[in-house]
Amino acid sequence: MVAARQRRRWGVPVLLAAYVGYLGLGAAVLQALERPAEVQAAQHLLREHWELLTNHTCLQGPALQRLIEGIIQAYKSGITLQGNTTSLGRWDYSGSFFFSISAITTIGYGNLSPSTAVGRIFCIVFALFGIPLNLVLLNEIGQLMLLGVQHCAHRLEEVFHWQNKASFLMKTCALVTGLLLFLLLPPLLFSDKEGWSYEEGFYYSFITLSTIGFGDYVIGMNPDRTYPSWYKNVISLWILFGMAWLALIIKFCINILESSSDFCQCHKQNTEMAEDFMDGNKNSMTGLQNAEISSNKDTKMKEPVESHSYTAPTEAL
């Protein structure tokens, strides 16, 4: 109990320091990569703004600013301009169904949100009960995946009489299959339906399945494209099973980190025990040396007395 409490007491500050350091490193790298593009985009926007006002003197600055803000607000609500008309469709049944999935899976893309007070209240209640339901379902799907891998490994052990190789082989196959189904192949579908590059599709796949959900890439939101009716339904199933698979991978990584932490702690305890043992040996050796020195001193103190008592009779003779 004492060792466990000491490990927890020292483990939390170490993990917190590693956590903050990791965040600091990520912030520094992202700032170095993204800050120049941000500055360039801001300068380009400002230049376009002043060129528009210069070339069209009938436009007033405040009026143009209100128009821009209105366009931005409409885009957030899912409305875009197409010539003289506007496009709707984000809040039809398929769009609402996809929003419901993004809510209870805690992805939260942020590109679409309720604009009415009643809709926001319903979203809170819906997510309050939907998030636990989603977690329970993901846990069950993950358990089924694990049971399938274990069953296949057991069958391989029975057929080929493999003991250690079967489990390793099935785990490798499950990892490769998951990579193909949930991360490597879906970007090809997104490239065809959304017009994204493979890198953008792969980025969207990981950001979605990990529930980060930045919202910079969202499927089915391009008004210039026509999507099949099955598209969002298939993507919803992909999100559900992909999140369960990625949760298993993340859990595996957590186990590795915890094992390495326990190993380091055990190594530290063994080192401390070895140092204490060495200190104990040193103290024992010091005690023996002190005892020998004391014994030698006593012997030396006694030797003159004995020689004196022995020579006295000789002198008498």
| Whole-number pLDDT of residue 280 | 54
pTM of the model: 0.69
- Quick one: pLDDT band at residue 197, thresholds 50, 70, 90? very high
Tens digit of pLDDT for each residue in 290-309?
A: 545 454 544 444 444 443 43
pLDDT, the chain, mean: 78
Average pLDDT over every residue of 189-205 = 96
**DSSP per-residue letters across the chain:** -HHHHHHHHHHHHHHHHHHHHHHHHHHHHHHHHHHHHHHHHHHHHHHHHHHHHHH-TT--HHHHHHHHHHHHHHHHTT-EEETTEEE--TTSHHHHHHHHHHHHTT---SS----SHHHHHHHHHHHHHHHHHHHHHHHHHHHHHHHHHHHHHHHHHHHH--SHHHHHHHHHHHHHHHHIIIIISHHHHHHHHH---HHHHHHHHHHHHTT---SSS-TT--TTS---TTHHHHHHHHHHHHHHHHHHHHHHHHHHHHHHHHHHHHHHHHHHHHHHHHHHHHHHHHHHHHHHHHHHHHHHHHHHHHHHHHHHHHHH-
227 or 95, greater pLDDT: 227
Tens digit of pLDDT for each residue in 47-59?
A: 887 888 788 777 7
| Whole-number pLDDT of residue 305 | 40
- Quick one: pLDDT band at residue 188, thresholds 50, 70, 90? very high
| Whole-number pLDDT of residue 196 | 96
